[in-house]
């Protein structure tokens, strides 16, 4: 969902502030895309499983939509897919946008999990990057969600915001733990030219409070402090950026079932602006040694809407998706298994990889694994391979070591 109340200075997502007049038209476009899912999957050469065990409505800020618009989106999903009764259904919300009316419609739509984009419990830090909420508003929203029956709440925090210190960061971590939310995501501030704050930092400027942003080493220290503090508070890290409390009655953590699909390479289907998908390959592509197909919609509202305005909207959308499609062969699947599976604290099973891809495929990576273990970036425990604490800080460098030259697509595939 590309709509927000305000564009945060650190944000590099495909979102922004738009006229509410566009909201209803966009919701209609997404619903039409959902209705065309079967045809689109067939055009892209993917298998479409209509059974759904997780739904994630992300942003932007979906909670700025009107209640009837939220209902239309969930109705479209339920009319075109078989949503399991125990499905995890998550909506991203910005603190301060969760009115009683919004809460009521979330419940009516079957939403049972909310991800709150808090980023910081320190008001000075929040306001410096354009956030409109305060600590008090956030705590009120958590209480309102709980009282409505939605207790599965995730809080997002960012290490490295302007004005952030070790002391203020500890305050945010302490407030998070005190709130009792079962899930926490901790991200390190991204510095790139796709956000206003990142551009200013790269230019050495001072707009957007850039001169108050901690340096990379300090930000890394803040991330490590979060890992330690959350663990002490009973919130266990299970992925580079994600932490969860143990299930109250049973075994396991209150992790994000939906995000686990990405890291374990399960199929998923996205709709809307800048939505990414991965489907298992259909019979025709599978016969050409293709395991899966990945594709994405345009990353701008203008580009996304262009297909809807065409004479044949479904054909135009399929053409957009085909232009972005990449096929995943066995080599690419192995590489993905490494750089996605290693994100998880439990790591990955080498015997499972050997069983799936063959001993020779894994043997080719043995020198890289040995080198990364010697560098204390990876560690082995029995059959499993996982990142060390230092490896999590340098994960992109680790993942890059498992990437080889891209293979040409099979003849007849794109």
Compute the average pLDDT of residues 186-213.
90
Which CATH architecture group holds 330-400? Answer: Orthogonal Bundle (1.10)
User: Cβ(263)–Cβ(344) under 8 Å?
Assistant: yes
Q: In sequence order, which residues have a C-beta less than 8 Å from that of residue 340 and are 6 or more positions away?
A: 262, 263, 264, 265
With H, G, I as helix, E, B as strand and everything else as coil, classify residue 3.
Answer: strand
pLDDT at 408: 37
Q: Of 29-33, 316-320, 402-406, which gets the smallest average pLDDT?
A: 402-406
Q: What is the pLDDT of residues 256-302, one digit of tens each?
A: 999 999 999 999 999 999 999 999 999 999 889 899 999 999 999 99
Percent of the chain with pLDDT strictly greater than 70: 97
Q: Of 123-137, 187-201, 268-282, which gets the smallest average pLDDT?
A: 187-201
Regarding the domain with residue range 21-260, which homologous superfamily does it belong to in the CATH classification? tm_1862 like domain (3.80.30.20)
Compute the average pLDDT of residues 194-202.
87
pLDDT at 410: 36
> Backbone phi, then psi, for 57, in 5-degree steps?
-100, 105
Distance CA 303, CA 184 (A): 33
Residue 413 has pLDDT above 60, yes or no: no
Write down the domain spans for the chain.
Answer: 21-260, 261-329, 330-400
With H, G, I as helix, E, B as strand and everything else as coil, classify residue 92.
Answer: strand
405 band by pLDDT with thresholds 50, 70 and 90: low
Residue 255 has pLDDT above 70, yes or no: yes
Distance CA 405, CA 252 (A): 38
9 band by pLDDT with thresholds 50, 70 and 90: confident
Side-chain half-sphere of 117: how many Cα atoms within 13 Å? 26
User: Cβ(61)–Cβ(28) under 8 Å?
Assistant: no
Q: What is the pLDDT of residues 60-112, one digit of tens each?
A: 889 999 999 999 999 999 999 999 999 999 999 999 999 999 999 999 999 99
- What is the reported pTM? 0.92
Residue 218 has pLDDT above 50, yes or no: yes
Q: Where are the alpha helices (DSSP H) in 264-300?
A: 283-286
pLDDT at 382: 87
């Amino acid at each position: 969902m590309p709509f927000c109340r305000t564009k945060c200075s650190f944000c590099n997502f495909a979102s922004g502030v738009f006229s509410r007049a566009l909201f209803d038209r966009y919701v209609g476009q997404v619903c039409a895309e959902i209705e065309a899912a079967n045809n689109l999957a067939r055009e892209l050469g993917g298998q479409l499983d209509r059974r759904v065990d997780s739904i994630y409505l992300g942003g932007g800020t979906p909670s700025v939509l009107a209640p009837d618009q939220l209902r239309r989106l969930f109705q479209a999903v339920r009319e075109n897919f078989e949503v399991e009764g125990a499905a995890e259904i998550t909506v991203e919300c910005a603190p301060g946008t969760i009115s009683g009316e919004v809460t009521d419609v979330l419940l009516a739509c079957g939403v049972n999990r909310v991800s709150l984009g808090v980023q910081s419990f320190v008001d000075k830090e929040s306001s410096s990057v354009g956030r409109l909420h305060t600590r008090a508003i956030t705590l009120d929203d958590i209480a309102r969600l709980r009282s409505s029956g939605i207790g599965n709440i995730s809080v997002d925090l960012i290490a490295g915001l302007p004005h952030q210190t070790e002391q203020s960061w500890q305050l945010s971590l302490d407030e998070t733990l005190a709130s009792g939310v079962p899930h926490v995501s901790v991200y390190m501030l991204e510095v790139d030219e796709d956000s206003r704050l990142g551009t200013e930092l790269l230019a050495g400027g001072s707009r957007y409070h850039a001169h108050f942003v901690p340096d990379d080493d300090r930000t890394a220290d803040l991330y490590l402090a979060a890992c330690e503090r959350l663990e002490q508070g009973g919130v266990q890290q299970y992925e580079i950026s994600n932490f969860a409390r143990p299930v109250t009655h049973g075994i396991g953590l209150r992790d994000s079932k939906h995000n686990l699909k990405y890291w374990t390479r399960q199929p998923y289907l996205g709709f809307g602006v800048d939505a990414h998908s991965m489907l298992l390959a259909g019979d025709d592509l599978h016969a050409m040694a293709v395991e899966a197909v990945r594709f994405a919609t345009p990353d701008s509202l203008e580009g996304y809407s262009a297909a809807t305005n065409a004479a044949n909207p479904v054909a135009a959308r399929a053409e957009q998706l085909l232009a972005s499609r990449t096929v995943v062969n066995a080599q690419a699947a192995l590489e993905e298994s490494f750089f996605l599976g290693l994100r998880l604290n439990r790591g990955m099973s080498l015997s499972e990889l050997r069983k799936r891809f063959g001993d020779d495929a894994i043997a080719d990576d043995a020198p890289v694994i040995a080198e990364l273990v010697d560098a204390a970036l990876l560690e082995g425990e029995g059959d499993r391979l996982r990142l060390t604490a230092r490896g999590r800080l340098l994960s992109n460098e680790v993942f890059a070591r498992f990437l080889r030259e891209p293979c040409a697509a099979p003849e007849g595939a794109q």
